[in-house]
Structure 1
């Protein structure tokens, strides 16, 4: 039995939580992987997995073996990369995932320069607003703007703050009046992002630490920040956005701040990637580049 291959199989099965998912990722049949693990258990003389019709969990011995598998396989990967002169420069395919608005508005500022620096690197870009399972979908790095990162085995590197603000088209306050207090927002329509749990509820922080929750009437909801941006520029109502989505429209006057003295809970830009003792050169190159790029404030405060 090829024990190294069996260790890779066992680690994949535990990481993904099922033989079916592991088989799909490896491009082989469920039977092949199941047989490999059974042979491994027979050779080690211990049960590694508890199997039921609904779940698969490593035994105590299985968890011990899994930790050793991770250590050995990552050391093997590091050795292979270090021994290969070709791999000392970023090569291969870099799989990058970003939100759609971030892809449309931000990548054009820095991705061409990054690609020009690493001409032997192929970039596979996925723009999506759904949750991405980096391990199952084999994504190398996800650039994610969020106010909450769930506990996981992934590594999250903080890149930059992402302020959130209220905006409207200049013609909207002229027609409907300018709200000067949070209470006045209740008389104005909101353009809401439908993926939020409570798209109509705003939590505002103001001068001298004032806090106020506001429930605004909904005029339009959409699952696309770019569609809401277009609607706001068109004068349909008031909307809240991450500053990076609207900073160009604020600069050229297509949008204006609303209640500029009051702020919404901010978010942050992270680079999220699977944990590993040894980062592949392609991943390290991207992380170092975006860390440096976003180290300089890019969005006007």
Structure 2
């Protein structure tokens, strides 16, 4: 394979008329420059330069190849410039993964507003409660609850103080009554959520944790929310997910005197280089909406 630094030596040698001058321009030694030309000639199988102790000239093949070398280096330079400019613009495609409940009921509308602000932005959504592999799947960033277990990921806080809350519909409470203490949940139908192989059946309330049971389990948080709205049981949900339902009276918060666990929301990236202007705009936009 032809090396780019070898092409640079060839171009500089032709422009400077001297291998030593080319080496000084590229901040390498003359010996390194000489090896680069020899390596390039060996790769191409032809002589590019005719050299003596005092002069240097291109062969006819070298003069012909020089134009292609210049074009290749110029094309790469233009590509670098285009990438640099692109990183300063809120444009291009953003592949985003987000939870089902939060995504469908809240973020989807907000993302429409964001794209109206930035018409050059394109969006590819992955809506699922299954955690996306940011290193293997075609996902640039993910919106997730909880601190990532993988410490190599970069987590940008969106709602660091968000908590979970216990909720049920007025219809369920009319039939089965309202729990007065966390321990009373053992006598209620609790709607449980499963993520991967983990079943969330231990519901914490401060220093107390209650193992709950029920007749419904789902790996989709939106299903759990709908079951709660339909009066099928009690759910332990992120406050963000059910805020609109609570304000509209569709769900009621239970055991509000007991502390519940934190459920921080993060924007997760595989590395710092993933934080483009578009990602920063998304983070600032969502953070502002969530503060409201």
Deviations 1:268-291 (A, max 9, x none): 111111223584333333233334
Unaligned runs of 5+ in 2: 5-76
* Residues 77 and 137 of structure 1: CA distance in aligned 2, closer, same or farther (over 3 Å): farther
Counterpart mapping for 1:199-278 below 5 A? 199-205=200-206, 211-277=207-273
Q: 1:190–1:238: 8 Å Cα contact kept in structure 2?
A: yes
TM-score by length of 1: 0.65
Counterpart mapping for 1:152-163 below 5 A? 152-160=151-159, 161-163=161-163
CA drift at 1:81: 4.8
TM-score by length of 2: 0.67
Structure 1's consecutive aligned runs of 4 or more residues displaced over 6 angstroms after TM superposition are none
Which is higher, the Rg of structure 1 or of structure 2? 2
* Residues 93 and 3 of structure 1: CA distance in aligned 2, closer, same or farther (over 3 Å): farther
User: Distance in 1 between the 2:199 and 2:156 partners?
Assistant: 28
- Greater mean deviation of Cα atoms: 92-101 or 283-292: 283-292
CA drift at 1:79: 5.4
User: Distance in 2 between the 1:281 and 1:78 partners?
Assistant: 19
* Residues 116 and 213 of structure 1: CA distance in aligned 2, closer, same or farther (over 3 Å): same
Residue 112 of structure 1: aligned partner: 112
The count of residues paired between Structure 1 and Structure 2 equals 219
1:286 aligns with 2:282: yes
User: Distance in 2 between the 1:192 and 1:243 partners?
Assistant: 16
Q: 1:81–1:88: 8 Å Cα contact kept in structure 2?
A: no
Residue 28 of structure 2: aligned partner: none
User: Distance in 1 between the 2:138 and 2:84 partners?
Assistant: 24
Residue 10 of structure 1: aligned partner: none
Cα RMSD, aligned residues only: 2.7
* Residues 231 and 275 of structure 1: CA distance in aligned 2, closer, same or farther (over 3 Å): same
Residue 40 of structure 1: aligned partner: none
User: Distance in 1 between the 2:224 and 2:133 partners?
Assistant: 26
Residue 52 of structure 1: aligned partner: none
Q: 2:193–2:217: 8 Å Cα contact kept in structure 1?
A: yes
For 1:138, what is the secondary structure of its paired residue? coil
User: Distance in 2 between the 1:281 and 1:150 partners?
Assistant: 26
* Residues 115 and 265 of structure 1: CA distance in aligned 2, closer, same or farther (over 3 Å): same
Counterpart mapping for 1:107-186 below 5 A? 107-146=107-146, 148-160=147-159, 161-186=161-186
CA drift at 1:87: 5.7
Q: 2:190–2:213: 8 Å Cα contact kept in structure 1?
A: yes
